[in-house]
């Protein structure tokens, strides 16, 4: 705990057997009360490695997608009594060593959420980010800032922290089950006037680190543009699915599909 807040790290996993141990070993345990991994029906030995490491693991019997995986992660974390939840990809693309810094920014109630930005400090290209992804990231972030009126340096990081209040109040169940889930979360946080902080984060691109291919990147990019436009319409009173007052929140009374400790 820090400042009396329970800290839970969640790891949305898919085929992460080769990098899970290295990622888990670098989590600074004195700052973390619990680690929960959700295996989205991996086709490798992810769940076996998680079991060897003693990580509380939830296993999806069918693949639910990146967003669907996160929904299970957040449900499990909230049901465990988390006050602060940090999402860490188990592919070792982001350094777990920054968890204490991320947590501290929320534990003392300065921020409602914190994003680890690869664009602060120009570490993205140094870490091996492909040029087309770097340019797309910069453009999409610029476009999103124009639409939201905010000044984030990156909307597309997979290393994030949230207070339990944010996760309970946002209509996350109504959000997409694919990669656009991440951007819908940020749009909803700005829409509901939550305070989002950023921290500079180095990144590593290598063979074992998960990364979507060019075609899926294009689909994601168009999805981001769509979310940004819907945000503008919502501010003007034309609310689409996730911005409606009755949009569905996470059901914390639902059963965990299957897990082992």
pLDDT digits (tens, 9 = 90+) for 12-23: 999 999 999 999
pLDDT at 209: 61
Instruction: Give the pLDDT confidence score for residue 56 in this predicted structure.
Output: 95
What pLDDT is attached to residue 257?
A: 67
Q: What is the pLDDT of residue 218?
A: 86
Identify each DSSP E strand in 133-228 by its residue range: 160-163, 196-200
Residue 200 vs residues 86, 94, 111, 124: alpha-carbon distances, Å: 15, 11, 16, 10
Please tell us whether the domain made up of 7-247 is placed in CATH 3.90.550.10: yes
- Quick check: 260 pLDDT over 70? no
Position 52 scores a pLDDT of 95
- Full-model pTM: 0.93
Average pLDDT (111-125) is: 89
> Above 90 in pLDDT, residue 242?
yes
pLDDT band at 194 (very low <50, low <70, confident <90, very high): very high
> What's residue 11's pLDDT?
98
Closest to 180 measured CA to CA, from 223, 215, 140, 148 = 223
Contact 50, 32 (CB under 8 A): no
pLDDT-based confidence at residue 261 (cuts at 50, 70, 90): low
């Amino acid at each position: 705990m820090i400042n009396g807040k329970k800290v839970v790290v969640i790891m949305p996993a898919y085929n992460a057997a080769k990098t899970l141990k290295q990622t888990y070993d670098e989590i600074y345990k004195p700052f973390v009360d619990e680690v929960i991994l959700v295996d989205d029906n991996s086709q490798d030995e992810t769940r076996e490695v998680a079991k060897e490491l003693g990580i509380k693991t939830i296993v999806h019997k069918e693949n639910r997608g990146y967003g669907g995986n996160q929904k299970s992660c957040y449900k499990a974390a909230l049901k465990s009594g988390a006050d602060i939840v940090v999402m860490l990809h188990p592919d070792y693309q982001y350094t777990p060593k920054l968890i204490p810094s991320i947590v501290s920014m929320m534990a003392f109630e300065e921020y409602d959420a914190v994003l680890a930005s690869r664009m602060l400090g120009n570490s993205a290209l140094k870490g091996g980010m492909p040029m087309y992804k770097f340019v797309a990231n910069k453009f999409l972030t610029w476009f999103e800032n124009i639409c939201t009126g905010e000044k984030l340096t990156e909307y597309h990081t997979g290393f994030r922290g949230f207070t339990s209040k944010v996760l309970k109040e946002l209509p996350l169940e109504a959000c997409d089950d694919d990669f656009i889930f991440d951007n819908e979360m940020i749009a909803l946080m700005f829409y509901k006037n939550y305070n989002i902080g950023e921290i500079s984060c180095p990144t590593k691109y290598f063979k074992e680190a998960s990364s979507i291919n060019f075609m899926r990147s294009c689909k994601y990019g168009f999805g981001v543009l769509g979310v940004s436009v819907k945000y503008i319409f919502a501010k003007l009173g034309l609310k689409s699915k996730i911005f409606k007052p009755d949009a569905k929140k996470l059901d914390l009374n639902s059963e965990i599909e299957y897990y082992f400790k």
